[in-house]
Amino acid sequence: MKMKKNLSSFTLVGIVLLLTGCGITSTHTMIKKISQEPLADGSVTKIGYIAPSAEWRCRQLDRKSGDWGAAQFKGMIKMGGGYEVLQSEAIAYANQRNLKPNYIYLQVPDELEVNGFNIKASTEASANYYQCKYPPALYNKMF
């Protein structure tokens, strides 16, 4: 009976060590930024990572989805990484479709890492195009 109890204790300790040794982290976009970018027609749009609020009175014009893993991969050779790629692709899409948004909300997926390996790297990111009656102010806060 005592040996069975010790075996159970060792098994429990082993499981706890295994789980704590396996570094699992989950992150979500901590960037709270709204910047301004020119469009091809000469107008200017705000672009950011903050979802539209009800008081902005926005009407969605379009939505474009893309592969966040591919954007991050392309971003390895650009300054700004995947965020910069997502932003430039969003502006290019607005210009191609002649959307004329006054706010583009960039939605980046949460990430899940196990021992430093991103296991959700190929999830979907999106650019959401809005025409807002009261567009947001410029804002730049990382956390």
39 within some domain: yes
List the domain range (segments joined by +) for residue 70: 25-141
4 within some domain: no
Structural domain count of the chain = 1
1 within some domain: no
User: What pLDDT does 31 receive?
Assistant: 75
The one-letter code for the residue type at 92 is A
User: What pLDDT does 3 receive?
Assistant: 46
12 within some domain: no
CA distance 107 to 36: 17
Q: Are 35 and 47 in contact (CB under 8 A)?
A: yes
19 within some domain: no
74 within some domain: yes
Query: Which secondary structure element, helix H or strand E, spans residue 102, and what is its range?
Result: none
Quick one: average pLDDT of 34-60?
96
CA distance 71 to 69: 5
- Is residue 29's pLDDT more than 70? no
The answer to pTM > 0.85 is no
65 within some domain: yes
125 pLDDT tier (thresholds 50, 70, 90):
very high
20 within some domain: no
